[in-house]
Structure 1
Amino acid sequence: MMNRQGSISIGVLLFLLSWRMCASDDRLVLGKALSPGTTLVSDGGAFTMGFFSPSDSNNSSLYLGIWYSSLPKLTVVWVADQSSPITDHPSSSLASTLSLNNDSNLVLSDATGRVLWTTNITVGAPASPSSVLSSSVAVLLNTGNLVIRSREGTTLWQSFDHPGNAFLPGMKLGMNYRTHSGARIVSWKSASDPLLGSFAFGADPARPLQMIIWNGSRVYWRSSPWTGYMVDSNYQKGGGESAIYTAVVNTDEEIYASFTLSDGAPPMQYLMSYSGDVELQSWSNDSSKWVTFAKYPPRECSTFNYCGAFGYCDSSSTDAASSTCRCIEGFEPTSGAEWSNGNFSQGCRRKEPVRCADGFVGLPGMKMPDGYTFVPNRSFEECATGCIRDCSCVAYAYANLSSSAKKDSTRCLVWSGELIDMEKVAGSWGDFGETLYLRLAGAGRGPKTSAVKYALPTHMRHSTAILQGLFGCKELAVKRLSIGSKQGIVEFRNEVLLIAKLQHRNLVRLVGCCMERDEKLLMYEYLPNKSLDATLFNNTRKSVLDWTLRFKIVKGISRGLLYLHQDSRLTIIHRDLKASNILLDSEMNPKISDFGMARIFGDNQEQANTKQVVGT
């Protein structure tokens, strides 16, 4: 006869088992199966999981998938059985099922019991029958992520690690540095056929700093290498204004991108389309359809190596139809006839052979070429010097990945041989352009061939000058005062005399000057991260300014001001201190510039009168 304690134990067991069988509609537990006609709905109602047949298709197969719950148009974001769809006979009394088995795996079986798909995870089997009470559970989250959790709460498997054709908020797309493995989104065979298509999008295993669209095993499109931005924000209009925030995380273990949406934003996703484009889509309630805001590749000549070696896609025009291929400076089409007919595959060739003694020119606003070699632990100067001294080095580029969590936050890239898959970016794409330093015949051989490029259409034009001389190449920033500038000869001389007498790490260093007729040039040390305002007021670049870096910049500016006001041989008031007059070096150290409006005080002078309003 069973005692009272045994009766209570059996009662609790039966109660818990019955509770688990009737568990929430967002999960599967041991003993509960999902079959055609039944669904799981996430807690919050955003996503549904179940069986579906493709709409507008002759495909009679049945698929297990996850889709948006509230949209009037069926939009599936994940499919389990893309390789082995269900083909149950309609007259069969048996049905396909998805169930969670004893070893914590989800198993999809057809009506005959044949396994079509499984999660293939390996965990220890339950130690005893009583452990069934705390076995694993599969839960559909409100993000669209299907998660299997152990009895201790550990995530054993999740669909976000094995995505479908959609990159969703909260999903990670990147690469593990050790295993060179990472998730990819894969296209469908067609718009209505969930069978695996030929296009995939993910991080490049060989060069994880860039993303790739593959067509089978061939590269179809490639992004430029990551420049170090931590968060990028884009604002979209469609059924109301909303924002999408893209974040990049880089550690010693992995690098990945993910994105989130602003509160109240409509559903948004990146779709790997069957035609080969990665499309940023947002659901429009006004038109009841998906609206595409951006796509990659953005234009025909953006596809991989479309312009051939040493050619680039000129996308400086906002009109995609007017985009075409051009040769970079110092090069000409290899075949003029084919180039004129729109066949750019043979690319470009040098007009003049390059020699080891030749210097480098800076090509701003460029999507970096493919085939680079990453050189770790190099400062900007070390990166440049290494390429200059190596006669086989054709080009180099540098970025400070200050937002990276890796011990080495430098990014020195060097190229040898042909440069392929380049693009001149502008407009919203210009934020992702960088300066490529190219070894060019004649550069640095003398004053007549020194490369000086003016880039900013303001009264203070900053540019890069590559000069050689007895001591090799020297990279400078040139400030040119236009003829109509309010900064006249007095201010020009004032700036030269002041900066020449000042020496501080947070003040820009003057290297030389030139004044002839109406031309007035000042040559400074080159600061690759431009002015502070170019970072503060740029949606892409400002993401690098985390609190630690902002505090570092504030302290540097303060040290420079303290030196001017108190510690220098002269007491100087700048009178035009603003973000555009704070320049940033390769390590994001601030340097105060533009002393045209500055005033010198006497040794015991504490106040002075001004005759006019100056500054901004």
Structure 2
Amino acid sequence: METLWWSTLFFFFIFKASTLKIINPGDVIKDGGETLESENGTFEMGFFSPGNSNNRYIGIWYKFSNTTVVWVANREAPVSDNNGVLSFDNNGILTLFNETNGVVWYTNPNTSRTPHEPVLQLFDSGNLVVKEKNEDDSKNFFWESFDFPSDNLLPGMKIGINLITGFEYYISSWKSSDDPSQGQYSLRIDPHGYPQVVLKKGSETVYRAGSWDGHYLSARKPDDNPIPLYSYNFVINENEIYFKSELKNSSFISRYTMDPSGLMQRFIWNQMKNEWQVYSTAQADGCSTYGLCGSYASCKSGRFPLCSCLEGFKPKSSMNTSDGCSRTTELGCSGDGFLKQRRLALPDTSKSWANGSMNLKECEEFCVKNCACTAYANLDVTKGSGCLVWLDELIDITEFSQDVQPLYIRLPISELDKIQRKMEKKKAVIIAISIIVPMGSMVTLFLLYKLKKNLSNKGKTKEKMEMQIFDFATIANATNNFSSNNKLGQGGFGNVYKGMLKEGKEIAVKRLSKDSGQGFDEFKSEVTLIVKLQHRNLVKLFGCCIKGDERMLIYEYLPNKSLDNFIFDKTRNKLLDWERRFHIIDGIARGLLYLHHDSRLRIIHRDLKASNILLDNDMNPKISDFGLARMFGGDQIEDKTRRVVGTYGYMSPEYAFYGRFSMKSDVFSFGVLILEIITGKRNRGYSDINHNLLEHAWRLWTEGRPLELINKTIGDTDGGNATTSDGTYITSEVLRCIHVALLCVQQRPEDRPKMSSMLLMLGGESTLPEPNQPGYFIEKDWLPSATAADCRSRKQSTSSNEVTITMLDAR
């Protein structure tokens, strides 16, 4: 089913009053059901209200799908009630009046000619036209809606620029599903250099379809090229520049649309199912973001990381592959050569030069003589003619898995020699393998394989990450365009949505909010860490999605959501008997043990809390949200940061006060979590005015009344075995858990047990030492009074859902 935002559009006050086929001077269309219909009944024009808005607009929609509005006349000037009137006069002017007879909107003819017998007609193409009564030549139309597109590009409609008048044709998004006025995004022709089709957010380019290569737009994937169904026309002359498409088969009904988020998709109407179906998506993968990898780097969908330097170039920054690349050896102008690349989409052409009459050899000679030239290619790939030259850094390059138009990249001869020697070594390995395989010499084959691996990696090993890079359109469709009905919850760094992939797999999508505080480093940390971690008590990461400033993590979907939905809810709390609670405590402990000791990496979670413990169908706990996690080296036991990030109530004192964190910081959080599971009360915001939960637990422990901590839904506290409506629990087992929790939350990190001994303690297999006083603090007074005011004057903090980021300055 169609899942974009406009699927929720509905119309008010449209009644079947009258339908016209043509409008003559003096005719009007009144709000309340009067419409203009195209000759074969494909399109209809009339008044409508979008989404939940009560404003009225003149629009054109498909008659068989009247919620699919393809054009809006008065986008910026709605009528506030249903008393609007659309009038057509003797001069061929179409005017929209409001209730007070004020002019809301009118057409401005694109010619100085005056019509003799003007008529207004809606064509079956969706084009609303003012023309002479018996004139059908589009060159003689006085006005047409196709010159003023909204958010849909229909077959026959063009985007471009009239170079004589400066008039520009482009489609632009709605502001929202309730507001059809022009939004942030627009698809247009960029005339700079060799013209190309781009998507802009305001004045910033965010996606590039590319320049015309004689076959199609050069930045599109070869396997996404819909040439069999459509014919394309890209015109560049002294009068105008434009691009348009036409359906080859008129029996198809198709449109190209842009939603308020800038997502562009082509839809085809399925008459059998009576619904729109996605035919293609412009931003089909993570490489669709303009300039994602920076200069002289290519982006390849499905590869992680997505970005890689071109041959002859090296990363500008070792910290971030998206910072772009620089030359390994600088050009000398003279003595340079060219490396032929067959699988790279043509780079951004906004700083290029083109000549249609030159051949490829002449193009190379021109580039050699021009020191600013960085690459060249044929202008028309179908004819092998023309010259396209780049005069600046190469940017926005996509790498394909199959050959496309050759691109010749300028490199120093010394670099070309290195690349040639490298290729010859690889070729020698391949030849040697082809000779040895028939001889059956497996030992020699293995040695050659190792040699090939060493050559390709230059002596360095790279760990391949098994994960999927999802495209934005797939995730948007899976979550019903991030519908509020699919929202599972809100975390410290954004919303989480339930989704369903086409193959039926349920997923949870963590969509990072743009002002969440989690930047690229935290996102990269979470992806890098989770993909390497495999344990039954850790949430499974399927992949990620990157589109512009959108960053999303795709997890397994866990139907019971998070632990806090149970232990802090008065109704769901009753579903957790002691056996289930102990099972959850044990599972969290095993997950932490894996992170701290058993995984290949030593991971400090830094944000262990009830909302970050997810529960599967069988109530097995899974630790999630690794955005704040840090990795330790083999001998490292502690680290320090000025950026304290975590959640009040779960932070250990040494981390909150001084920014020091270690495995013992997670142990502290785990102790808080045990007490919350037992009591059903939050440590932060505990109702006792004089105590927080840790202080309350310590007081009851020292007074010999620890069983008073037990949540009433678990059972009464009299006797050795407590009986509940759901069964029994052993009092000593609960006491042991309280004891372990108090050991975990001790003030001094060195007094807290390691996770390696924690499971033995919980299982009753070791003697427990007496706990010392907890290291608790209350948020409103968590610093000593002597330093609190000073720190407040110097700290910067932002909070979202109890997640706090604090910068600590040295005294």
TM range (shorter): 0.5 to 0.7
Q: Which residue of 2 aligns with 1:46?
A: 42
Higher mean displacement: 44-53 or 222-231? 222-231
Kindly indicate whether residue 33 of structure 2 is the aligned counterpart of residue 33 of structure 1.
no
Quote the offset at 1:263 in angstroms.
Answer: 4.2
Q: Which residue of 1 aligns with 2:406?
A: 435
Quote the offset at 1:367 in angstroms.
Answer: 1.7
Could you tell me how far apart the structure 1 residues matched to 2:415 and 2:78 are? Answer: 64
Give the structure-1-normalised TM-score: 0.59
Q: Which residue of 2 aligns with 1:310?
A: 296
Match of 2:130, SS state, is strand
Question: For 1:146, which of 102, 115, 128 is the aligned residue?
Answer: 128
Amino acid at match of 1:28: I
Bigger share in helix: 2
Q: Which residue of 1 aligns with 2:326?
A: 349
Contact 1:367 1:422 in 2 (8 A): yes
Match of 1:301, SS state, is helix
Amino acid at match of 1:305: G
Q: Deviations over 1:287-332 (max 9, x none)?
A: 54322222122223321111111112113xxx4x857111111112
Contact 2:341 2:407 in 1 (8 A): yes
Match of 1:269, SS state, is strand
CA shift in 2, pair 1:141/1:212, >3 Å? same
Q: Deviations over 1:177-220 (max 9, x none)?
A: 54554411111112343222111112213246310111111111
Could you tell me how far apart the structure 2 residues matched to 1:267 and 1:256 are? Answer: 23
CA shift in 2, pair 1:140/1:184, >3 Å? same
Amino acid at match of 2:341: L
Contact 2:312 2:415 in 1 (8 A): no
Could you tell me how far apart the structure 1 residues matched to 2:363 and 2:143 are? Answer: 42
Could you tell me how far apart the structure 1 residues matched to 2:112 and 2:164 are? Answer: 26
Match of 1:437, SS state, is strand
Q: Deviations over 1:336-369 (max 9, x none)?
A: 1223xxxx1x211122222221211012122222
CA shift in 2, pair 1:443/1:284, >3 Å? farther
Quote the offset at 1:170 in angstroms.
Answer: 2.0
Kindly indicate whether residue 387 of structure 2 is the aligned counterpart of residue 419 of structure 1.
no
Amino acid at match of 1:190: S
Q: Which residue of 2 aligns with 1:211?
A: 197
Could you tell me how far apart the structure 2 residues matched to 1:234 and 1:420 are? Answer: 17
Higher-Rg member (1/2): 2
Could you tell me how far apart the structure 2 residues matched to 1:333 and 1:115 are? Answer: 59
Question: For 1:378, which of 330, 354, 358 is the aligned residue?
Answer: 358
Q: Which residue of 2 aligns with 1:120?
A: 108
Kindly indicate whether residue 169 of structure 2 is the aligned counterpart of residue 183 of structure 1.
yes
Amino acid at match of 1:213: L
Q: Which residue of 1 aligns with 2:781?
A: none
Q: Which residue of 2 aligns with 1:363?
A: 341
Could you tell me how far apart the structure 2 residues matched to 1:300 and 1:235 are? Answer: 16
Could you tell me how far apart the structure 2 residues matched to 1:236 and 1:38 are? Answer: 45
CA shift in 2, pair 1:449/1:39, >3 Å? closer
Quote the offset at 1:285 in angstroms.
Answer: 4.0
CA shift in 2, pair 1:136/1:416, >3 Å? same
CA shift in 2, pair 1:242/1:411, >3 Å? closer
Contact 1:64 1:79 in 2 (8 A): yes
Q: Which residue of 2 aligns with 1:103?
A: 91
Kindly indicate whether residue 150 of structure 2 is the aligned counterpart of residue 164 of structure 1.
yes
Amino acid at match of 1:116: V
Quote the offset at 1:144 in angstroms.
Answer: 0.7
Q: Which residue of 2 aligns with 1:525?
A: none
Aligned ranges 1:237-252 → 2 under 5 Å: 244-250=229-235, 252=237
Q: Deviations over 1:207-236 (max 9, x none)?
A: 463101111111111122211127999999
CA shift in 2, pair 1:165/1:207, >3 Å? farther
Q: Which residue of 2 aligns with 1:84?
A: 77
Contact 2:34 2:46 in 1 (8 A): yes
Aligned ranges 1:250-399 → 2 under 5 Å: 250=235, 252=237, 253-263=239-249, 265-285=251-271, 287-315=273-301, 319=302, 324-339=306-321, 344=322, 346-356=323-333, 357-370=335-348, 371-376=350-355, 377-399=357-379
Contact 1:310 1:347 in 2 (8 A): yes
Higher mean displacement: 46-55 or 168-177? 168-177
CA shift in 2, pair 1:125/1:351, >3 Å? closer
CA shift in 2, pair 1:208/1:79, >3 Å? farther
Quote the offset at 1:282 in angstroms.
Answer: 1.6
RMSD of Structure 2 on Structure 1 (CA): 3.7
Contact 2:29 2:87 in 1 (8 A): yes
Amino acid at match of 1:39: T
Question: For 1:62, which of 56, 61, 66 is the aligned residue?
Answer: 56
Paired residue total: 403
CA shift in 2, pair 1:450/1:83, >3 Å? same
Bigger share in strand: 1
Contact 2:297 2:325 in 1 (8 A): yes
Q: Which residue of 2 aligns with 1:229?
A: 215
Quote the offset at 1:392 in angstroms.
Answer: 2.4
Quote the offset at 1:268 in angstroms.
Answer: 1.2
Contact 2:42 2:63 in 1 (8 A): yes
Contact 2:221 2:400 in 1 (8 A): no
Match of 2:320, SS state, is helix
5+ residue gaps, structure 1: 1-22, 404-408, 458-479, 485-616
5+ residue gaps, structure 2: 1-17, 436-811
Q: Deviations over 1:452-493 (max 9, x none)?
A: 979xx9xxxxxxxxxxxxxxxxxxxxxx9x979xxxxxxxxx
Contact 1:210 1:225 in 2 (8 A): yes
Quote the offset at 1:45 in angstroms.
Answer: 0.4
Q: Which residue of 2 aligns with 1:17?
A: none
Contact 1:242 1:264 in 2 (8 A): no
Match of 1:257, SS state, is strand
